[in-house]
Structure 1
């Protein structure tokens, strides 16, 4: 098959730029101007980061289920040197009230990503008779479950470091404990479609990740990589370097450097570079301007922004404790900064968005 020129498209939130917002209250680097009455929601939520996976496709063992706890939030058990950073944490298998909130966070995030794709599950032109599909970093398995429902004749495998997927799944869907940063144990040329979503901060060697996907795909099979930026923007100056949201991206970028994991996948074009280096052809790329909050006038974008705010706000402090520790912040400093973030998340004067990028490509026939 001859290689086609890469295509690039762009999707945006409501194109009507809101009026300039009032200047946000000035804060110091960690947002110390937060009012003391802004309560910190220190529930027993799970967190975002962990270490796991000395081997690939491991059995579900007690050591993997043995989570370690920091500030009351669970992290993956420590095995090997794979490091995973989760934006919204891991919900327990039998959740109480806080676990149900964590599940709501995952459901909201999946809903956002599905809405952004106009109700579709992927951009790659998947055949109706697709046979075997791999979802790398499946998390709670929502994408894999939906894909299995839509394509009942396909075998869908979701992999992750944590056994947090539901027990009720379509008969054609299965989940495996797997570390995608280790050598893959899947048979070469065995998948029709390899899907991966929101792995930013989790992968040290993206080129190797895409190379392993290339080996696992059948000739003519497709890969799709969907990643997000951690940097908030605004077109009216309501997000700036004096706001907590304006500092959010650098906080995670600096923490990612301490981990040896990049948080600037979108900004650095890592997906396309790695996919090209692996040997894929027919490369397509889509940039998505994703709103945060209910400020857009367009109903669809307002819904997307509202659900994204819900997902991110659910455990703001919990999502930053590990990074704060890496950067030398005290728990109190993290609490104050998180409270500032929640206040800005609720503000009608802040018109924030962040960028997402989807890259899909084909293994040559």
Structure 2
């Protein structure tokens, strides 16, 4: 799926331990809270209650903080653009699987004339939201009840492992809910991992980060919700009838090991993404699906965090 086979340039001073690891502040003053308390509590984390078990990541305050980090990482990747589709002034926007609602809120702020709807299995409760955004508890894998031809932009982001039938979901968008000439935009993360060698090569299977990726793939196969999503998006959209399909592929290094300034910044944030997110990604899947104990998952996440801080492996993946 790579758009280029050129290796990522490497910052040798970082590999030698001479760079400033604290150059980027990851603190945030934003906080998200929920007023609804009917949740599943498991292994010290909180999960959604509506259609319990359909989604594998937590919905607690710790995960909300992590969602802020990921939102910023996507904004960095896309040069502060919330979407790339050629819709200049969207009027009706749907954010599918909105999570904590950050993208929907930013869209509502940026386009005050637009009506923005965010849906999720968890109630999205934010203290202060723009008047033109609303959040709904819903399962996006079910049939939608919106009037036909409602939206001029439907947005999906990082819903890996969430849908058993992507073509059916895309078909519903295409045949019923997008206005003629409307756009769907789906940004997603690949699970395959690479080393920035010349030429680039897959990360060895015995690396703990490769092992985590393999575990996610196995869990997805067992639950019927594949983790191999990103590389199929464009073809699946075409197959259901979409035209003017454009695919943009980006590299996310794990760690600030590149000498390219943009990739170094992305790498620093993606390192934190892996350190903060790995438990959220695997805790429910590994314990519910793969038979891991809580202590075994904690051991895996500790090893992944150490690997994410490695200076010489030069690991990256595509989005």
Query: Do these two structures clear the TM 0.5 threshold for a shared fold by scoring above it?
Result: yes
Q: Distance in 2 between matches of 1:61 and 1:181?
A: 25
Cα distance change on mapping 1:9 and 1:339 into 2, 3 Å? closer
- Post-superposition shift, 1:223? 0.7
Q: Distance in 1 between matches of 2:83 and 2:281?
A: 27
> Is the CA contact 1:11–1:289 (under 8 Å) kept in the aligned structure 2?
no
- Post-superposition shift, 1:110? 0.4
The aligned counterpart of 2:158 is: 198
- Post-superposition shift, 1:197? 0.6
The aligned counterpart of 2:223 is: 259
Q: Distance in 2 between matches of 1:13 and 1:294?
A: 18
2:54 to 83, 92, 99: 83
> Is the CA contact 2:50–2:122 (under 8 Å) kept in the aligned structure 1?
no
The count of corresponding residues between Structure 1 and Structure 2 is: 295
In the alignment, is residue 104 of structure 1 matched against residue 65 of structure 2?
yes
- Post-superposition shift, 1:18? 6.5
In the alignment, is residue 354 of structure 1 matched against residue 314 of structure 2?
no
Name which of structure 1's ranges 68-77 and 184-193 shifts more when overlaid on structure 2: 68-77
Q: Deviations over 1:264-310 (max 9, x none)?
A: 1124x1x1232123211111111212122111212222221211221
- Post-superposition shift, 1:78? 5.6
Structure with larger RCO (C-alpha < 8 A, sep 6+): 1
TM-score by length of 2: 0.84
SS in 1 for 2:143: coil
Q: Distance in 1 between matches of 2:185 and 2:150?
A: 16
Q: Distance in 2 between matches of 1:11 and 1:121?
A: 24
SS in 1 for 2:264: helix
SS in 2 for 1:281: coil
Q: Distance in 2 between matches of 1:118 and 1:11?
A: 19
Name which of structure 1's ranges 104-113 and 272-281 shifts more when overlaid on structure 2: 272-281
2:258 to 271, 275, 296: 296
Cα distance change on mapping 1:76 and 1:301 into 2, 3 Å? same
> Is the CA contact 2:92–2:115 (under 8 Å) kept in the aligned structure 1?
yes
Q: Distance in 1 between matches of 2:144 and 2:224?
A: 21
> Is the CA contact 2:274–2:305 (under 8 Å) kept in the aligned structure 1?
no
Unmatched 5+ stretches in structure 2: 16-33
- Higher share of residues assigned helix: 2
The aligned counterpart of 2:103 is: 143
> Is the CA contact 1:105–1:310 (under 8 Å) kept in the aligned structure 2?
no
The aligned counterpart of 2:8 is: 15
The aligned counterpart of 1:305 is: 267
Unmatched 5+ stretches in structure 1: 1-7, 23-59, 93-98, 357-365
> Is the CA contact 1:13–1:289 (under 8 Å) kept in the aligned structure 2?
no
Runs of 4 or more, structure 1, over 6 Å off, are: 11-14
- Higher share of residues assigned strand: 1
Name which of structure 1's ranges 152-161 and 271-280 shifts more when overlaid on structure 2: 271-280
1:163 to 108, 123, 147: 123
> Is the CA contact 1:18–1:351 (under 8 Å) kept in the aligned structure 2?
no
Q: Deviations over 1:305-362 (max 9, x none)?
A: 2112213312533532222221122333222222111111112122111111xxxxxx
Q: Distance in 2 between matches of 1:216 and 1:279?
A: 14
Q: Deviations over 1:69-126 (max 9, x none)?
A: 221111222637x72233xx3234xxxxxx3xx3331111001101111111111011
Q: Distance in 1 between matches of 2:291 and 2:242?
A: 41
The aligned counterpart of 2:18 is: none
